[in-house]
Amino acid sequence: MFSPFKNIFSKKKKKKMEAIRSCCSLPGSELSSLLQELRGGTSAPGASPHAPPPEAGGQGEEGRPRRARARARAADPRYADKMAAAAVDSAMEVVPALAEENAPEPAGLSCLVNLPGEVLEYILCSGSLTAADIGRVSSTCRRLRELCQSSGKVWKEQFRVRWPTLMKHYSPTDYVNWLEEYKVRQKAGLEARKIVASFSKRFFSEHVPCNGFSDIENLEGPEIFFEDELVCILNMEGRKALTWKYYAKKILYYLRQQKILNNLKAFLQQPDDYESYLEGAVYIDQYCNPLSDISLKDIQAQIDSIVELVCKTLRGINSRHPSLAFKAGESPMIMEIELQSQVLDAMNYVLYDQLKFKGNRMDYYNALNLYMHQVLIRRTGIPISMSLLYLTIARQLGVPLEPVNFPSHFLLRWCQGAEGATLDIFDYIYIDAFGKGKQLTVKECEYLIGQHVTAALYGVVNVKKVLQRMVGNLLSLGKREGIDQSYQLLRDSLDLYLAMYPDQVQLLLLQARLYFHLGIWPEKSFCLVLKVLDILQHIQTLDPGQHGAVGYLVQHTLEHIERKKEEVGVEVKLRSDEKHRDVCYSIGLIMKHKRYGYNCVIYGWDPTCMMGHEWIRNMNVHSLPHGHHQPFYNVLVEDGSCRYAAQENLEYNVEPQEISHPDVGRYFSEFTGTHYIPNAELEIRYPEDLEFVYETVQNIYSAKKENIDE
């Protein structure tokens, strides 16, 4: 420590820390201003920040210039102690304390810059100063400029406070130009927000096409910076910026899925003997949940904690068991059957008795049962996910279990034969991880599924076949979707399946039909159809019937493209038009269905039913008192569906609440507590509705409030 501060800092450490905290607690503007005055008060307009302070005219008491007198006083140990004490008491008290000593202002303020470097650095890193403040402070004098160097702690702290989640991407040993990183991240954030703001105008009337993300792909700079900005938008507090959040979520979803899909394709190129079943399962989990923070490292850490519990139990069974000597990352196989059996007994106790893992029989057809991070959280799953967890733990403890792609019920097999001997299906015990680790014979396996199977179905399968079965399960669940009209699970599972088997004609056709149904036009679905046609050239002799289906799809795709070319401007609906006189409700109002009781928000209306005759007949619209000759409303329902409701079936919701529909942000920018405010694109289409909404809300909810007060 510097000598002028030695006595004070050694005797009054507590007081020193309080003083530092006092400096750090100042508002950024005040602290910045104080530090800028270190060179002698506020600079004159146009003056250089590095220029020396102006000399005061006149002589002092001793006939010396003021600067010389200040230097003499500063050289006096007693005077230095007094100035240090003033600085320690509080940065803002420096000037008054020196004024009491009749000391000049330049010398008084300079005592702050004479503080030890670590103290000044602590103040600059306190969080009170913004990046702009740091820029001004660094231009004050050479010492502060050195403290604020681009690779130092000050700019690192600015970066960390502004974007804390990005720090995990930097190694403590790496040299980083934190000022440059700050600038690049700031620029990436501005670019990301600019693109998010443009999406609503470009894609309001249709789903974002597959080539709609090309702007993001062509951006320069680290992708993690763009992702971080999108996460910041999603985490914005309150019920505002709903449209921004809607498109930020779509862009982030796309970016992460593309990255995960590329990783999965690289993973699938590994040789057949590469048996990281868990890694492949995590890629599937990540792809279907790209907005969740899922990593192989975190899932492996959770499994390692289970392994530790198994080792603790195993130690009670056999304190000299070789598995207890395994080091982290090592997994040599144990060959003695008795030692393997001890491991499996310990596993069954920990997993099923201690941790209460179990097969999910009550909610079997739930996609969460296939996601490894959810299996660990909920401690339940279906046979294939429970088997992968069981297999991973067993192999880490030296038991060489193998996956069996058994029909209707995924199993593991445990070899009981001698090494090197010729084995058949009867030389294995089959383990049902879904059934609490129960060990089965061949006959018991057949009883389990209620049918006889060939010996080939008891064979071991590689990683790709295991992942194919997992994705196949997700694909089946996606086809069962009835509420989520975005068919997100079906789309994700098709992407995954085609990444593994890109020439599956039936799935290519299904994907093309799905894009056709969702209106995702035109490039990807059209290219998809052309790809299917290329494949059909090779299989036409085996399955000629498929050509008709593809031809039908191509025809309608081309017709849609032609219609898009003929479309003119946006259709504007004015409530003041005579043909709209019967429309009673407006976009943004929270409504309730009289018959079915669901809550919804209106995002569009027609003066009469605009659906076709088949829909009108199927929905039995003619049975309504006013039939189809009444206004109909497009509504977003709280269960995630979109419906077309007759006016006579809707009523005001006297207790309005947010509608948790994934497409709310596509149409609305804010929820006020009583209604939704349309975004700019929706308001263009219904320019007179907002005023009517305000009147309705005031009449309906103000009257209700008055009744409650009475």
Given pLDDT bands bounded at 50, 70 and 90, which one contains residue 39? very low
Report d(CA 337, CA 343) in Å as an integer. Answer: 10
Residue type, 86: A
What's the pLDDT at 561? Answer: 55
At 248-288, the pLDDT tens digits run 998 999 889 999 999 999 999 888 777 789 999 999 999 99
Q: What pLDDT digit, counting tens, does each position of 653-695 carry?
A: 988 999 999 899 999 999 999 999 999 999 999 999 999 999 9
The pLDDT score that the predictor gives to residue 140 is: 79
Residue 592 or residue 203, greater confidence: 592
The Cα–Cα gap between 80 and 62 comes to: 20
State yes or no: pLDDT of 236 exceeds 70: yes
- pLDDT of residue 158 exceeding 60: yes
pTM across the whole model: 0.76
Strand partners, 412: 403, 431
What are the phi and psi torsion angles at 147 (to 5°)?
A: -65, -30
Q: How far apart are the first and last CA of the chain?
A: 72
Report the SS3 class of residue 182: helix
CB neighbour class for 466 (10 Å; exposed up to 12, middle 13-18, buried from 19): buried
Position 185 pLDDT exceeds 90: yes
Domains of the chain (ranges; CATH) run 114-162 (no CATH), 181-269 (no CATH), 277-470 (no CATH), 502-568 (no CATH), 578-702 (2.30.30.390)
Q: Do 537 and 505 meet the contact criterion of CB atoms below 8 Å apart?
A: no
pLDDT per position as a tens digit, 95-107: 333 334 433 444 4
Q: Is pLDDT of 415 > 70? A: yes
Is the bond preceding residue 172 a cis peptide, omega within 30 degrees?
no
Can you tell me the mean pLDDT for 617-633?
Answer: 93
For residue 83, pLDDT over 60 is answered with: no
Residue 546 has pLDDT above 60, yes or no: no
Q: What percent of the chain has pLDDT over 90?
A: 49
The predicted pLDDT at position 678 comes to 96
What is the 3-state composition of the chain as percent helix, strand, coil, each rounded to the nearest 5? 60, 10, 35
**Taking residues 308-314, what's their average pLDDT?**
95
Mean predicted confidence (pLDDT) in 33-47: 46
Task: Output the pLDDT for position 429.
Answer: 95
Q: What is the mean pLDDT of residues 629-648?
A: 93
Cα–Cα dist 109/87, whole Å: 9
Say if residue 85's pLDDT is above 70: no
- Convert the pLDDT of each residue in 51-67 to its tens digit: 333 443 444 344 444 44
At residue 22, the pLDDT reads 54
Q: How confident is the model at residue 508 (pLDDT cuts 50, 70, 90)?
A: confident
* DSSP-assigned states of every residue in 297-346: HHHHHHHHHHHHHHHHHHHHH-TT-GGGGPPTT--PPP--HHHHHHHHHH
- H helix or E strand, kind and range, residue 5: helix 3-11
Count the Cβ atoms, other than its own, within 10 Å of residue 357.
24
Label residue 532 exposed, middle or buried (CB < 10 Å: 0-12, 13-18, 19+): buried
Mean pLDDT over 389-416 rounds to 94
Dihedral sign for Cα 309, 310, 311, 317, please: positive
- Token readout for 449 is 């599924």
Q: What is the mean pLDDT of the chain?
A: 79
pLDDT at 42 over 50: no
Greater pLDDT, 553 or 146:
146
The SS3 call for residue 484 is: coil
Residue 342 contacts residue 397 (beta carbons within 8 Å): no
Range picked from 10-24, 388-402, 412-426 for highest mean pLDDT: 388-402
Place 123 in a pLDDT band, splitting at 50, 70 and 90. Answer: confident
DSSP 170-232: S-TTS---HHHHHHHHHHHHHHHHHHHHHHHHHHTTSPPPTTTTHHHHT--S-HHHHHHHHHH
DSSP 383-400: HHHHHHHHHHHHHHTT--
Mean pLDDT of 344-353: 97
Whether the CB-CB separation of 398 and 340 falls below 8 Å is answered with yes
Each residue of 567-601: pLDDT tens digit? 556 789 999 999 999 999 999 999 999 999 999 99
Q: Cis omega before residue 45 (within 30°)?
A: no
Q: Name residues whose C-beta falls within 8 Å of residue 209's C-beta, 6 or more positions apart in sequence.
A: 203, 520, 521, 522, 523, 524
Cα gap 38→141, rounded to integer Å = 8
pLDDT at 150 over 70: yes
- Residue type for position 548: G
If you average pLDDT over residues 544-564, what whole number do you get?
A: 58
Decide if pLDDT at 535 tops 50.
Answer: no
